[in-house]
């Protein structure tokens, strides 16, 4: 079988991570043959580090000069719709980073294009590829622990994400950027559709870290209710400074389980007399989910032949709906039904106008 040619769109933090995974783990099955980023310096640097020969300033330029089997989209959320639709209409398979898009209209555009083209569209919810999370989902499906009653999920990120990701106008904020993963996990584990979300937020560190966007928050607590009656609480803190922390506790009708830990194990010590306790922590999401990110690329390449993805447009759209309803909840200080943001007339008024094109 010929090696799949992948165009990496975006040379930032995640573009580098996925390029490295493909370079180090896909062997002769796949190769990043081009990097696309309008930031030429960043693109050149990434290309040089991994011996990628082609560098382009835009996807259009890449499609004009290069030839690919698939693209990996790792750009800011407000660019996802246009890039995904362009790649899909060029007949390419797509791995699209979460959040799928800025709003439901954009998700629908991407889903419709993918259905028309019959390509594989995989969403970047890496927890779906993580051994512990997958084992937990299998335990639930086995019925041994019964039905989920309460899910408590938290994600705390170490440092501030890039500026575009802190502003609800350009990204839908931390609920989208950090806690999309918890929203997807809660829906996945309950196996049920969300009905309502209520989110409250705080801002502890924004002023000190220069995060000045209107409505910036670094702390959130969300309660999601599901059709099954299950309740989920989702906590988010970013920047947390102490490391990357992703943990879930699920109480079921016949038992409970926990997924995740603050660190990879190793030395845990309490030094007598000093009241000090040290424990290994994951410094970043790159460390906590290292194996899942590799598996994500392995399965994306396989999906180019099978057409089967583990997580796709339906799950991506559901998480975006929760993010939108959650943001309304923050701004209007009330619980919000998911049906409100599914209404075609719903307008996410806080988003910068350029992001609402097509809405
Ligand atoms: N799955 C995860 O664990 C995870 C972690 C972090 C970020 N993300 C997601 O990955 C995406 C990127 O995040 P990041 O942290 O790498 O951002 P980043 O800001 O570090 O990198 C984004 C890059 O995209 C480039 N870019 C902007 N517009 C472009 C365009 N039209 N074509 C090509 N390149 C363009 C920028 O110049 C920048 O270099 C976001 O959707 C984010 O939510 C996912």
For a mutational test of ligand 1's pocket, the pick from 55, 57, 75, 287, i.e. the residue with the most ligand atoms closer than 8 A to its C-beta, is 75
Give the pLDDT confidence score for residue 355 in this predicted structure. Answer: 55
Compute the distance between CA of residue 181 and CA of residue 339 in angstroms, rounded to an integer: 21
For a mutational test of ligand 1's pocket, the pick from 7, 14, 54, i.e. the residue with the most ligand atoms closer than 8 A to its C-beta, is 14
Q: Tally the C-alpha atoms within 13 A of residue 145's C-alpha that lie toward its C-beta.
A: 20
- Ligand 1 nearest-atom number relative to CA 165: 43
pTM: 0.95
Ligand 1 centre to CA of 257 (Å) is 33
Ligand 1 centre to CA of 198 (Å) is 28
104 CB neighbour count, 10 Å cutoff: 20
CB 160 near ligand 1, within 6 Å: no
CB 151 near ligand 1, within 6 Å: no
In total, the chain counts a number of residues equal to 359
pLDDT in tens, the chain (359 residues): 689 999 999 999 999 999 999 999 998 999 999 999 999 999 999 999 999 999 999 999 999 999 999 999 999 999 999 999 999 999 999 999 999 999 999 999 999 999 999 999 999 999 999 999 999 999 999 999 999 999 999 999 999 988 999 999 999 999 999 999 999 999 999 999 999 999 999 999 999 999 999 999 999 999 999 999 999 999 999 999 988 999 999 999 999 999 988 888 655 555 556 555 566 789 999 999 999 999 999 999 999 999 999 999 999 999 999 999 999 999 999 999 999 999 999 999 999 875 554 43
3-state secondary structure the chain: CCCEEEEEECCCHHHHHHHHHHHHHCCCCEEEEEEECCCHHHHHHHHHHHCCCEEECCHHHHHHHCCCCEEEECCCHHHHHHHHHHHHHCCCEEEECCCCCCCHHHHHHHHHHHHHHCCCEEECCHHHHCHHHHHHHHHHHHCCCCCEEEEEEEEECCCCCCHHHHCHHHHCHHHHHCCHHHHHHHHHHHCCCEEEEEEEEECCCHHHHCCCCCCCCCEEEEEEEECCCCEEEEEEECCCCCCCEEEEEEEECCEEEEECCCCCCCCEEEECCCCEEEECCCCCHHHHCHHHHHHHHHHHHHHHHHCCCCCCHHHHHHHHHHHHHHHHHHHHCCCEEHHHHHCCCCCCCCCCHHHHCCC
Ligand 1 centre to CA of 13 (Å) is 7
CB 10 near ligand 1, within 6 Å: yes
Q: Tally the C-alpha atoms within 13 A of residue 313's C-alpha that lie toward its C-beta.
A: 24
- Ligand 1 nearest-atom number relative to CA 75: 24
Beta-carbon contacts of 100 under 8 Å, excluding residues fewer than 6 positions away, are 80, 106, 107, 110, 123, 313, 316, 317, 319, 320
CB 11 near ligand 1, within 6 Å: yes
Ligand 1 centre to CA of 142 (Å) is 37
Nearest protein Cα to ligand 1, atom 21: 12
CB 14 near ligand 1, within 6 Å: yes
CB 320 near ligand 1, within 6 Å: no
CB 177 near ligand 1, within 6 Å: yes
Give the pLDDT confidence score for residue 104 in this predicted structure. Answer: 96
Q: How far is CA 32 from the centre of its chain?
A: 21
- Measuring CA to CA, which residue among 63, 68, 75 is closest to residue 18? 75
- Ligand 1 nearest-atom number relative to CA 43: 39
- Measuring CA to CA, which residue among 226, 225, 248 is closest to residue 235? 248
Ligand 1 centre to CA of 188 (Å) is 25
- Ligand 1 nearest-atom number relative to CA 14: 16
CB 76 near ligand 1, within 6 Å: yes
CB 77 near ligand 1, within 6 Å: yes
Question: What are the structural domains of the chain?
Answer: 4-127+292-309 (3.40.50.720), 129-288+317-356 (3.30.360.10)
């Amino acid at each position: 079988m010929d090696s799949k040619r992948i165009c990496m769109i975006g040379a930032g933090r995640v573009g580098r991570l996925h390029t490295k995974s493909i370079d180090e783990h896909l062997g002769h099955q796949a190769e990043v043959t081009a990097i696309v980023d309008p930031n030429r310096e960043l693109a050149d640097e990434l290309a040089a580090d991994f011996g990628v020969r082609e560098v382009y300033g835009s996807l259009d330029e890449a499609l004009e000069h290069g030839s690919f089997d698939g693209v990996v989209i790792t750009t800011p959320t407000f660019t996802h719709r246009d890039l995904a639709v362009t790649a899909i209409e060029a007949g390419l398979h797509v791995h699209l980073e979460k959040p799928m898009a800025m709003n439901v209209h954009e998700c629908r555009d991407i889903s419709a294009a993918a259905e028309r083209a019959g390509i594989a569209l995989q969403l970047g919810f890496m927890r779906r590829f993580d051994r512990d999370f997958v084992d937990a989902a299998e335990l639930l499906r086995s019925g041994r622990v019964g039905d989920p009653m309460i899910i408590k999920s938290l994600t705390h990120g170490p440092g501030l994400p890039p500026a575009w990701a802190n502003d609800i106008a350009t990204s839908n904020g931390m609920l989208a950027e950090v806690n999309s993963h918890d929203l997807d996990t809660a829906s996945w584990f309950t196996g049920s559709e969300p009905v309502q979300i209520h989110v409250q937020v705080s801002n502890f560190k924004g002023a000190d870290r220069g995060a000045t966007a209107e409505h910036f928050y670094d702390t959130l607590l969300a309660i999601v209710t599901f059709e099954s009656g299950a309740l989920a609480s989702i906590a988010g803190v970013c920047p947390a400074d102490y490391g990357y922390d992703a943990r879930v506790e699920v109480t079921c009708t016949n038992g409970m389980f926990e997924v995740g830990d603050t660190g990879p194990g190793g030395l845990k010590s309490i030094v007598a007399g000093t009241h000090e306790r040290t424990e290994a922590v994951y410094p970043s999401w790159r460390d906590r989910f290292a194996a899942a990110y590799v598996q994500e690329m392995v399965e994306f390449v396989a999906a180019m032949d099978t057409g089967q993805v583990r997580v796709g447009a339906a799950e991506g759209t559901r998480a975006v709906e929760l993010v939108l309803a959650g943001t309304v909840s923050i701004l209007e200080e009330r619980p919000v039904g998911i049906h409100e943001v599914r209404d075609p007339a719903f307008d996410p008024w806080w988003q910068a106008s350029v992001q609402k094109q097509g809405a």
